[in-house]
Chain A
Amino acid sequence: MATEVMETTSTRNYLNNGHTVKSWLLTLDHKRIGLLYLFSISIFFAIGGVYASLIRLELITPEGDLMTAETYNKVFTMHGVMMIFFFLIPSIPAVMGNFLLPIMLGAKDVAFPKLNLLSWYIFILGGSLMLITMINGGIDTGWTFYPPYSSIYSNTQVTLAGVSIFITGFSSILTGLNFMVTIHTMRAPGLTWFRLPLFVWAHYATSLIQILGTPVVAITVLALALERTFQIGIFDPKLGGDPVLFQHMFWFYSHPAVYIMILPSMGVISELIANMTRKRIFGYHFVAFSSLAIAVFGFLVWGHHMFTSSQSMYAGMVFSLITYAVAIPSAIKIFNWTATIYKGSVSYDTPMIYALAFIGLFTVGGMTGLFLAALGLDVHLHDTYFVVAHFHYVMVGGAIIGYLGGIHFWWPKMTGRMYPEVWGRISAAIIFLGFNLTFFPQFVVGYLGMPRRYHAYAPEFQVLHILSSAGASILAVGFIMPVFYFAWSVKFGKKAGNNPWMASGLEWQTSSPPPTENFTYQPVVTHEPYEFEHVEEIKNAGKLENKTA
């Protein structure tokens, strides 16, 4: 009898709690909503990836022979829009944040489960509108939508795309709002602010940006759509509007949005490094507060996108200086992670390989950001491939590497199964090599003067572009591999058990996959995060429990 009870409690989890389509589409469970996001953003990532391949195919030859300049404009615009608004911004918060945050806090769910589900539906509505835009021919304005081109001269679906971005923004706002309230009010007994995992701190900082920034871009794209529809002078100088006003309002969100993408990734990396080196994170308070510092500074640097847009020289100097200042909290993180690894018991499992890749690639991405923050140098580098390479080092080398590392690390928690470790390492290595081969040549070609957003170029750049395109195909292989081995592992992977990494953190104390209510008991936190001597106790406790069963 007793064994039967144990059986049912250990096999009942959030995945087998209802198998109907309805039980997924109307779920209020944050874990299921996280998986809904995982599937949807993977589709958008694939679409964005197809556009990226088209770009790299066109750029193999100096002539614009694969597509016309107009088509090329649409292709790079759709690549940017899909990747930024529909993959990178939701990626870690909406998937891993949704899945893990309440468990890490020892709560049963986020504060507003219905709003959480609503955020997914809003996301799908916005995404569908963007797909309709795409099918109707896409947009050719660049993901930045700069007027007056976007306001009157573009003959593409800018209004519909604007409405899509407007709607999608609210899904991001709702996620941020939910996380912030959840962190404030739903921490388990004993879980004080400085006992929170750094993943939670990073998501708190991210939520701050989502809450304060996203409404501004919403009103901006709404104004753009109004201007196109009613031909009123908001941004179009011919009608009395001000195109630079658009740039200010757009970057007031879109620069901090870069930190929406990178901060959660930094949170993931903190977890990976502490757990994979089995060491308390070095400088916990500094890493935690540097997330907040990045969020706050991030709001004060938007002008560095406008050094060449008639901005006053003095404003430019201030923006340049504050942009340099952002490097400080970022460097604090990098140095603290490095110090954590030092003399740690480092395992080289896939998540750690991603974490190490992050440290290297993000450092390159961050340092080249300083080149662009320099007023004089930026005049030379502005709108060249140097910028493209810089933000891909941050976005792909930072955000996506962190996302993949996190997915590998928490996959056993999400599914109850291990992914195949060998394939994980191989694909991580392929991604690292492919990524560098794709984007490092772009630093060079940009420095030599190749502007971004051109489909034809001077013949002397061809070698570098061929290298980049070759790298992109390797990178694509690396991205496709996990799709297959993750799918395989759901059925055939090794059973993971509650805590395959022997990691600290509340999420590893509950079963894998967790039950719908996350914990069968009320967790109480008695110590700081990343204290691995306690993990052993928990493990033994778990063993005892199993033995009695």
Chain B
Amino acid sequence: MAEHATHVPGLAHHFVSMEQQKEAGTIGMWIFLLTELMFFGGLFLAYAIFRYKYPDGFLQGSHLLSVPLGGLNTFILILSSLTMALGVYYSQMGDRKKLVAFLTMTLLLGLAFLVVKFFEYKEKFDHHLFPAIGFWNPAADHPPEQYHQHVRVFLWIYFAMTGLHALHMIVGAGILITLIYLARKGTFTKEYNSPVEISGLYWHFVDIVWIFLFPLLYLTGFHVSGGH
């Protein structure tokens, strides 16, 4: 295999073999995800510090979020992880039809998530609960006035974390569109399918971030309210 390396379709010139190329791609993606973890990690740290400082503000802020919509999105993303995993499986089986079908399903689920997110954001803008200057103008009882500043801190964390997550979803959708295009063209075979697998890693990572965001942001009330 290594001898005729240059003639293998999909093999870049500087790699010796397909295995080496696949290994490099996979390790590369894992390292990239590590950087993503540290990137989100900064915001998780901010969350921890401010939740410790302003427990009431976080409780009030969390009550402003819709648990049903957040729950729906959690369900959508878990489902999309399943379809993505099946896509990876069928790419390894060399089943082009099923690969395209499952990638498309994943894409649609991802877009559904973004639509739900859009309506959640819109509701916040309509109530003047977007924390930036010029937008922020909450009604006195929604949230209670004594918590205004602390709820504002919670809400910027909410917007920063879910916004960054949504940005990753949009990038993921772009990746899926590319993959679907390539899969339809028949680029992926039993031998050459590492782009699908590597993109799958990314997609699962973005899902896992949401799995942490949902309880931290939406379900805070269930915990803290017990003590009040």
Q: Please determine whether chains A and B interact with each other in the same assembly.
A: yes
Name A's B-contacting residues (CB within 8 A): 107-113, 173, 177, 180-182, 184-186, 211-216, 218-220, 223, 226, 229-234, 239-242, 245, 248-249
The total of interchain contacts (Cβ-Cβ below 8 angstroms) comes to 102
Known: A177-B32, A185-B24, A211-B35. 7 other contacts (CB 8 A): A177-B35, A184-B24, A229-B132, A230-B132, A231-B132, A234-B156, A248-B45
Minimum CB–CB distance from A546 to chain B (whole Å) comes to 28
> What are 10 sample pairs from A and B whose C-beta atoms fall under 8 A apart?
A111-B28, A173-B35, A177-B28, A184-B24, A185-B24, A216-B41, A232-B152, A239-B153, A240-B149, A248-B45
Residue of A nearest to B32 (CB): A177
Q: CB < 8 Å: which of B28, B42, B149 contacts A233?
A: B149
Interface SS of chain A: helix
Point out the residues of chain B lying under 8 angstroms from A218, CB to CB. Answer: 39
Which 9 residue pairs across A and B have the least CB separation, nearest first? Answer: A230-B132, A219-B42, A215-B39, A109-B14, A215-B38, A108-B14, A231-B133, A232-B156, A111-B24
B42 in contact with A220 (CB, 8 Å): yes
B35 in contact with A214 (CB, 8 Å): yes
Minimum CB–CB distance from B25 to chain A (whole Å) comes to 8
Measured between alpha carbons, how far is A107 from B16 in the docked complex, in Å?
A: 9
Minimum CB–CB distance from B91 to chain A (whole Å) comes to 21
Minimum CB–CB distance from B55 to chain A (whole Å) comes to 13
Minimum CB–CB distance from B19 to chain A (whole Å) comes to 9
Within 8 A of A (CB), among B40-67: 40-43, 45-46, 49-50, 53-54
Point out the residues of chain A lying under 8 angstroms from B14, CB to CB. Answer: 107-110, 113
Point out the residues of chain A lying under 8 angstroms from B150, CB to CB. Answer: 240
Q: Provided the pairs A109-B14, A177-B35 are in contact, do residues A215 and B42 lie with their beta carbons within 8 angstroms?
A: yes
Q: CB < 8 Å: which of B28, B49, B131 contacts A230?
A: B131
Q: Provided the pairs A107-B14, A181-B27 are in contact, do residues A216 and B38 lie with their beta carbons within 8 angstroms?
A: yes
The reply to whether the CB of B120 lies closer than 8 angstroms to some CB of chain A is no
The reply to whether the CB of B4 lies closer than 8 angstroms to some CB of chain A is no
B24 in contact with A249 (CB, 8 Å): no
The reply to whether the CB of B82 lies closer than 8 angstroms to some CB of chain A is no
A230 in contact with B133 (CB, 8 Å): yes
Q: Provided the pairs A186-B20, A234-B46 are in contact, do residues A241 and B39 lie with their beta carbons within 8 angstroms?
A: no
A240 in contact with B42 (CB, 8 Å): no
Measured between alpha carbons, how far is A173 from B50 in the docked complex, in Å?
A: 28
Point out the residues of chain B lying under 8 angstroms from A213, CB to CB. Answer: 38
Minimum CB–CB distance from A371 to chain B (whole Å) comes to 30
B152 in contact with A233 (CB, 8 Å): yes
Point out the residues of chain B lying under 8 angstroms from A112, CB to CB. Answer: 24, 28
B38 in contact with A212 (CB, 8 Å): yes
B46 in contact with A211 (CB, 8 Å): no
Interface size classification for chain B: 35 or more
Point out the residues of chain A lying under 8 angstroms from B23, CB to CB. Answer: 184-185
The reply to whether the CB of B31 lies closer than 8 angstroms to some CB of chain A is yes
The reply to whether the CB of B72 lies closer than 8 angstroms to some CB of chain A is no
Minimum CB–CB distance from B128 to chain A (whole Å) comes to 14
Q: CB < 8 Å: which of A211, A226, A242 contacts B50?
A: A242
Point out the residues of chain B lying under 8 angstroms from A110, CB to CB. Answer: 14
A223 in contact with B38 (CB, 8 Å): no
B54 in contact with A240 (CB, 8 Å): yes
Point out the residues of chain A lying under 8 angstroms from B49, CB to CB. Answer: 242, 245
Q: CB < 8 Å: which of A211, A214, A230, A232 contacts B31?
A: A211
Residue of A nearest to B22 (CB): A185
Point out the residues of chain B lying under 8 angstroms from A107, CB to CB. Answer: 14
Measured between alpha carbons, how far is A216 from B31 in the docked complex, in Å?
A: 15
The reply to whether the CB of B224 lies closer than 8 angstroms to some CB of chain A is no
Measured between alpha carbons, how far is A241 from B160 in the docked complex, in Å?
A: 15
The reply to whether the CB of B115 lies closer than 8 angstroms to some CB of chain A is no
Q: Provided the pairs A113-B14, A232-B152, A233-B152 are in contact, do residues A184 and B27 lie with their beta carbons within 8 angstroms?
A: yes
Point out the residues of chain A lying under 8 angstroms from B38, CB to CB. Answer: 211-213, 215-216
Point out the residues of chain B lying under 8 angstroms from A181, CB to CB. Answer: 24, 27-28, 31
Point out the residues of chain B lying under 8 angstroms from A111, CB to CB. Answer: 24, 28
Within 8 A of A (CB), among B122-167: 131-133, 149-150, 152-153, 156, 160
Measured between alpha carbons, how far is A220 from B38 in the docked complex, in Å?
A: 11
A226 in contact with B160 (CB, 8 Å): yes
Point out the residues of chain B lying under 8 angstroms from A220, CB to CB. Answer: 42
Q: Provided the pairs A180-B31, A233-B152, A233-B153 are in contact, do residues A215 and B24 lie with their beta carbons within 8 angstroms?
A: no
Residue of B nearest to A170 (CB): B35
The reply to whether the CB of B13 lies closer than 8 angstroms to some CB of chain A is yes
Point out the residues of chain B lying under 8 angstroms from A211, CB to CB. Answer: 31, 34-35, 38
The reply to whether the CB of B191 lies closer than 8 angstroms to some CB of chain A is no
Measured between alpha carbons, how far is A150 from B27 in the docked complex, in Å?
A: 38
Residue of A nearest to B151 (CB): A240
Minimum CB–CB distance from B12 to chain A (whole Å) comes to 8
A241 in contact with B153 (CB, 8 Å): yes
Measured between alpha carbons, how far is A141 from B178 in the docked complex, in Å?
A: 43
Measured between alpha carbons, how far is A108 from B24 in the docked complex, in Å?
A: 14
Point out the residues of chain B lying under 8 angstroms from A242, CB to CB. Answer: 49-50, 53
Measured between alpha carbons, how far is A466 from B35 in the docked complex, in Å?
A: 46
Point out the residues of chain A lying under 8 angstroms from B28, CB to CB. Answer: 111-112, 177, 181
Q: Provided the pairs A111-B24, A186-B24 are in contact, do residues A219 and B43 lie with their beta carbons within 8 angstroms?
A: yes
Point out the residues of chain A lying under 8 angstroms from B53, CB to CB. Answer: 242
Point out the residues of chain A lying under 8 angstroms from B31, CB to CB. Answer: 177, 180-181, 211
Residue of A nearest to B157 (CB): A234
Point out the residues of chain A lying under 8 angstroms from B20, CB to CB. Answer: 185-186
Q: CB < 8 Å: which of A177, A185, A219, A240 contacts B153?
A: A240
Residue among A215, A216, A231, A245 with max Cβ neighbours from chain B (10 Å): A215
Point out the residues of chain A lying under 8 angstroms from B132, CB to CB. Answer: 229-232
Point out the residues of chain A lying under 8 angstroms from B152, CB to CB. Answer: 232-233, 239-240
Point out the residues of chain B lying under 8 angstroms from A214, CB to CB. Answer: 35
Point out the residues of chain A lying under 8 angstroms from B131, CB to CB. Answer: 230, 232
Measured between alpha carbons, how far is A214 from B43 in the docked complex, in Å?
A: 14
Minimum CB–CB distance from A179 to chain B (whole Å) comes to 10
B133 in contact with A219 (CB, 8 Å): no
Residue of A nearest to B35 (CB): A215
Measured between alpha carbons, how far is A249 from B45 in the docked complex, in Å?
A: 9
Measured between alpha carbons, how far is A229 from B131 in the docked complex, in Å?
A: 12
Minimum CB–CB distance from B214 to chain A (whole Å) comes to 20
Minimum CB–CB distance from B165 to chain A (whole Å) comes to 13
Residue of A nearest to B131 (CB): A232
A212 in contact with B153 (CB, 8 Å): no
